[in-house]
Amino acid sequence: MEARMKQERLYDEDVYTVHPEDYRALCERLAGEGYDFPRAISGIDMGYGLRVTLQLTRMKDLAKVTVRTDVPYDNPVVPSVTDLWPGVEWYEREAYDMLGLRFEGHPDLRRILLEDEWALHPLLKRYDTGGYPVPGWEPKPWPDPEPWAPPPPPEPEEAGEADEGGEAS
Amino acid sequence: MSQIPIPEDRHFRPRLLGYDPQKSRPWLERTVYSAYVFVFWLIVIGTYAGVPALFGALGWDSGWGFVLMRTLQVVLLFLLSAVIALLLILLLRKYLGKVQERYGPMHYGPAGGIQTVFDALKLLAKEDFVPAAADVLTFRLAPAITFVASFAMFAVIPFASGWVLADTNVGLIYLIAVSTLSAYGVLLGGVSSGNKWALIGALRAGAQMVSYEIPLALVFLTVAVWSGTLSLGGIVDAQLGLWNFLPLALPFVLYVIASLAELKHIPFDFPEAESELIAGYNVEYSGMSFAFFFLAEFVELFLLPALIVVFFFGGWHGPLFGLEPGSLAAGALESLYFTAKTAVWVWIFLWIRATLPRYRDDQLMEFAWKAMIPLALFGLVLAAYLRLIWR
Amino acid sequence: MSTMSLEPVPGRSDEMIVNMGPQHPATHGVLRVVLGLEGERITRAVPHIGYLHRNHEKIEEARTYPMVIPYTDRMDYVSGTQNELPFVLAVEDMLGIEVPDRAKKIRTMFFELYRLASHLVWMGTAMLDLGAISPFLYTFWDREIILGIVEKTAGARMLPNYYTFGGVRRDVHPDFFKDVADFLDHMERRMVDYEHLVLESPVVHARTIGVGVLSKERAVARGVSGPVLRASGVAYDVRKAFPYDAYPDVEFEIPTSPDGDTYARFWVRFQEMYQSIRILRQLVELTPKTGPYKGKAPARIKPPAGERYRAVENSRGELGVLVVSDGTDKPYRVKHRGAAFSNLQIVPDLFEGAKFSDAIAILASLDPVFGEIDR
Amino acid sequence: MGLLGSDERPRDIVLGTLDDLINMARSRSMWPLTFGIACCAIEMMATWDPKIDADRFGMFFRNTPRQADVMIVSGTVNKKLAKRLRRLYDQMAEPKWVISMGACANQGGPFRQGYSVVEGVDKIVPVDVYIPGCPPRPEALLQALLLLRDKIADRELRYKKPRAIPTDYDVLAEPGKDGRLPVL
């Protein structure tokens, strides 16, 4: 898991970017670490794929953490975390509704804001505001290095500092 | 940019945009309502003194003439019930306005005086809708049952000494029978509407009825035991020295609570429960059918306070200033006393309506079965005991 | 479970499926709940939302940053400027804009004024749901005074579009501080009445105490925030946890109640109104009467690529926004974390097993606003 | 709307006078439907608060569409709500009127270009009075209600040929232009 995880500090949050296969394992680890308050799950259309952003708070010491993972358009499947935090149930449904992200293991994954008959996932960038296809829209190539690739190993003289910073959990 | 005045004290009057606060004109309101009450009083005098006097003078007071006389009296009472409903709806709205720091209806007619006439006319001309899922006959019949049941209570209400349509010696039993009937209209109307909200409202009405009818009947029994008669005129006469609310304090309190429940009045308006059941049992009713439910509700809002006055506050009793009892002037004065006492109780009911939230329906039932019935039984035993040792 | 409504359970003829809403007087808007009723008891409850879905998040991607602010106003339309703040804060963070101290205090004053306005609307409508008519009229009259104060400064009553990047759009009206002080005097007197009408009413006690109990753990796991969470005994308030604007400068408390029932939620909102009055009293004294009301912000708002989540404690709880920027003058993605959206998720938990009348009281105590839930 | 359900002006002097009386009663006893949708609903509630107090003009809310005369569309109508809105309108007993309150109900307002918003409630129900504003002030709603009152009571206005009323939901059911997916 560590090999496919990028960890950074953004403002006051720890941000983990992980491979979709490791997403569930990381969430379980965070749940074990006491992150109990789910703030939101956001789906973002990155142009090359769909990003799931899970934001958590630990009520005990108010530590904040963000978990990101990217999935391709043709197979937007992410494991659901509703059993860990029931409060994300509607957020996962909303992400499914708006972006077509499918959360595996969700107890009741169906549209929440739009009607069931709709075939449109309106927040995808391939649709414009009115829900019409954007002419000439093409998905971007998958980024290289991948989003969860850890940053390249630092210069030897700075290695010590980086290690200290990277130990935060 | 309109500026909102920051009020100096807690009980300020709102300043309306473009409207002079002087426009509320309390003297005009008083005049209008006095006129309404005067009309009410005139009809009462006409019904109970005028018509018999007229027929007596014509010599038609027997046989078919008697039937005609009674018919005319009933027609006049129907008119009276319409006046009562129109007046009480208007009064309720004006009173709610007063409580809520606003004016209430004020623009149509002097001081809003003919607002409810417009409402009635509009309902008369509005489409009377029967839903496809409804049972048409029952649906049509239900408002009539409710209204007739309320209206039939007029038969035994004594407005003054001798001023009663049927001074029967089973008046109390008649009242129990008839007042229960009005709940049937609500029940049938709700069930036959083919609407789930109406059904819930009807079920609540049924559950509520079986809860409050028993303490109500027990209080009736207590009053009968105390007065030694089942006739309403007799009950009033028995209170000549002492009004019943003092010796029968406990049954009196229970009766007020049960009347609120029978009226489907806040805090016990579960069958209608506007914020819960949309409109409850009358959710599918429109136009005139709805108007009849409305009419029945407000006629009962007059009749149940009237019964409180009959049972506990000495009915028409009051100082007669040397007028000969039984004369027209004395009857008119007595009916005025009766109306005034009733008006106080109507006002108390409106006050409750403007102030309180609603209980939950099972709380009323729990209260009725666990507290009111034992207390009513206790009150009955106490009244019987007091009667044995006192009178 | 069917997608649109509850299916009757085979062999259970005593259960009635009732559709409550979207036009129901007690749903505070356009919520639809499909209920399974067994007599008066609710066996199952499935909420349906989205009847006010107005494509906020999509349309905000097609607007420049300043143009997004009026859209945020229309989310939680009862609490006006409170919605603008998380977005404004997030963009300020990304751009590194400094906000003058006076602007922060003015923002906070508006924030708390709208909290009072929102809680007043809540109180009136909640009492209307419980069957009392008059409190609704009293609270709306007090709310009119707040809106009048806001209108004098911002020019609009409900959705003023007043905050901007770096401060507020224009300086406050010269009467502002006096108006607020007068209003607070008035409000303190009225609160005595409201306590009599609501908190001390035996009917309200009978309807709310012990009804709809939400446990502490359940509340946290469900992501519930705001007064609903604090009524369950968790002292989580973004104003204290992650202070923003002038909140570090003022003294206030976080009222919590261990009970978690409907009455506790009523009580906590009442105490919050007292705290709002207290905060506003301090700010009337603390805020300089003259001075800058807006910091230096670039003419064209173009945050660098990146993302920022900021949250505020609005009247309903943690209202957050995740702004993703791609370096252009339009946000790449704006994701709103609705407090009422999260709070409404506990509806099935609390409804099941409750009586129908209780459900109305519970829903009133959650205080949903559908502009923010459906977005 | 005539007395006997026809839109013809009655020639008879008795019926004509009665018709005037009935319409006067209708115009002075307009009961709106309790149907708040969005931001405008709060201002709609504020129209009944002590400051404006539309109850002065004999108007108070009825919760059930059967007993309501006026539907105030107070907010954005999206495609999910549109069917329900039309259904509520159909459930109201004749005669009935519609007030479109605010920019969203008039033409979609700030959300006009969006995928889920109906661009004007007059595509679903016939509207009698439009109120601009976002949201309109309570005073504006009161003025609209009084305009509607005059419209109901006024002979000339009343018997004007009504605008074509959409009777089904085909506006919403259209499959959409170039690839827009069906919304119903």
Give the 3-state DSSP-derived string for chain B, with helices as H, strands as E and coil as C: CCCCCCCCCCCCCCCCCCCCHHHHCHHHHHHHHHHHHHHHHHHHHHHHHHHHHHHHHHCCCCCHHHHHHHHHHHHHHHHHHHHHHHHHHHHHHHHHHHHCCCCCCCCCCHHHCCHHHHHHHHHHHCCCCCCCCCCHHHHHHHHHHHHHHHHHHHHHCCCECCECCCCCCCHHHHHHHHHHHHHHHHHHHHHHCCCHHHHHHHHHHHHHHHHHHHHHHHHHHHHHHHHCCCCHHHHHHCCCCCCCCCCCHHHHHHHHHHHHHHCCCCCCCCCCCHHHHCCHHHCCCCHHHHHHHHHHHHHHHHHHHHHHHHHHCCCCCCCCCCCCCCCHHHHHHHHHHHHHHHHHHHHHHHHHHHHCCCCCHHHHHHHHHHHHHHHHHHHHHHHHHHHHHHC
Confidence of residue A12 (pLDDT cuts 50, 70, 90): confident
Residue in the structure block whose two tokens are 């407090």: C339
**Residue D97 is assigned to a structural domain of this protein:** yes
Confidence of residue B3 (pLDDT cuts 50, 70, 90): very low
**Residue B113 is assigned to a structural domain of this protein:** yes
Percent of residues, chain B, with pLDDT higher than 70: 93
Same-domain check for residues B206 and B316: yes
Q: Beta-carbon neighbour count of residue D63 at 10 Å?
A: 24
Confidence of residue C87 (pLDDT cuts 50, 70, 90): very high
Please give the Cα distance from A151 to A166 (Å, whole number). 11
Q: What values do phi and psi take at C290, rounded to 5? A: -130, 165
Name, in order, each residue with C-beta under 8 angstroms of C266's C-beta and a sequence gap of 6 or more: C126, C198, C199, C204, C208, C365
CB pairs under 8 A between C and D: 92
Domain boundaries, chain C: 56-374
Instruction: Indicate the range of B323-327, C291-295, D92-96 predicted with least confidence.
Output: B323-327
Contact criterion met (CB below 8 Å) for C123 and C135: yes
CB–CB contact C1 A108 (8 Å) = yes
- Give the end of a domain, one of B125, B153, B175: B125
**Residue B6 is assigned to a structural domain of this protein:** no
Shortest distance, CA C57 to any CA of chain D (angstroms): 10
CB–CB contact D36 C22 (8 Å) = no
Contact criterion met (CB below 8 Å) for D74 and D47: no
Mean pLDDT rounded to a whole number for chain C = 88
Please give the Cα distance from C20 to D108 (Å, whole number). 26
Please give the Cα distance from B381 to B375 (Å, whole number). 10
Nearest CA in chain B to C193: B10
Domain that holds residue B283: 129-390
**Residue D169 is assigned to a structural domain of this protein:** no
Confidence of residue B20 (pLDDT cuts 50, 70, 90): very low
Same-domain check for residues B307 and B221: yes
A131 → closest Cβ in D80, D115, D184: D115
**Residue B1 is assigned to a structural domain of this protein:** no
Chain C residues in contact with chain B using a Cβ-Cβ cutoff of 8 Å: 16, 18-19, 24-26, 37, 39-40, 127-134, 137-138, 141, 144-145, 147-148, 151-152, 179, 182-183, 186, 189-190, 193, 201, 203-204, 206-207, 355-358, 360
Percent of residues, chain C, with pLDDT higher than 90: 22
pLDDT of the residue at D26: 86
**Residue B3 is assigned to a structural domain of this protein:** no
CB–CB contact D29 B93 (8 Å) = no
pLDDT of the residue at B339: 87
Domain that holds residue A153: 2-129+140-166
pLDDT of the residue at A2: 67
Evaluate whether chains D and B are touching (3 or more beta carbon pairs less than 8 Å apart).
yes
∠ CA B347-B351-B353, rounded to 5°: 115
pLDDT of the residue at D127: 86
CB–CB contact B125 D58 (8 Å) = no
- Selected for mutation to probe chain D from B23, B24, B121 (highest D CB count within 10 Å) is B121
Q: Is the pLDDT of residue B2 over 80?
A: no
pLDDT of the residue at B80: 87
Same-domain check for residues B165 and B30: no
**Residue D81 is assigned to a structural domain of this protein:** yes
Residues of chain D found within 8 Å of residue C25, distances taken between Cβ atoms = 34, 63
Q: Is the pLDDT of residue A105 over 70?
A: yes
Nearest CA in chain C to B5: C145
Q: CATH number, domain at A117?
A: 3.30.460.80
A79-88 pLDDT, tens digit each = 999 888 888 9
Q: What is the torsional sign of CA B138, B144, B147, B148? A: negative
- Does B17 lie at the interface with C, CB-CB under 8 angstroms? no
Residue in the structure block whose two tokens are 């008839």: B178
Domain that holds residue D96: 31-144
Q: CATH number, domain at D85?
A: 3.40.50.12280
Same-domain check for residues B231 and B114: no
Same-domain check for residues B76 and B146: no
**Residue A134 is assigned to a structural domain of this protein:** no
- Give the end of a domain, one of B125, B156, B189: B125
D159: helix, coil or strand? coil
Instruction: Indicate the range of A11-25, B91-105, C237-251 predicted with least confidence.
Output: B91-105
Shortest distance, CA B151 to any CA of chain C (angstroms): 28
Residue ranges of E strands in chain C: 16-20, 32-38, 41-48, 163-164, 167-168, 306-314, 317-325, 333-337
Tell me the CATH number for domain C56-374. Answer: 1.10.645.10
C152-211 pLDDT, tens digit each = 888 888 888 899 998 898 888 888 898 898 888 888 888 888 888 888 888 999 889 888
CB–CB contact D69 B122 (8 Å) = yes
Same-domain check for residues B118 and B139: no
Greatest CA separation for chain B: 75
Same-domain check for residues B168 and B112: no
Q: How many domains does chain B have?
A: 2
First to last CA, chain B: 73
- Mean per-residue pLDDT for C88-114? 91
**Residue D114 is assigned to a structural domain of this protein:** yes
- Give the end of a domain, one of B107, B125, B143: B125
Confidence of residue D156 (pLDDT cuts 50, 70, 90): low
- Mean per-residue pLDDT for B266-286? 84
**Residue B367 is assigned to a structural domain of this protein:** yes
Q: How many domains does chain D have?
A: 1
Q: How many domains does chain A have?
A: 1
Confidence of residue D158 (pLDDT cuts 50, 70, 90): low
**Residue A110 is assigned to a structural domain of this protein:** yes
Same-domain check for residues B136 and B121: no
Please give the Cα distance from C147 to D98 (Å, whole number). 28
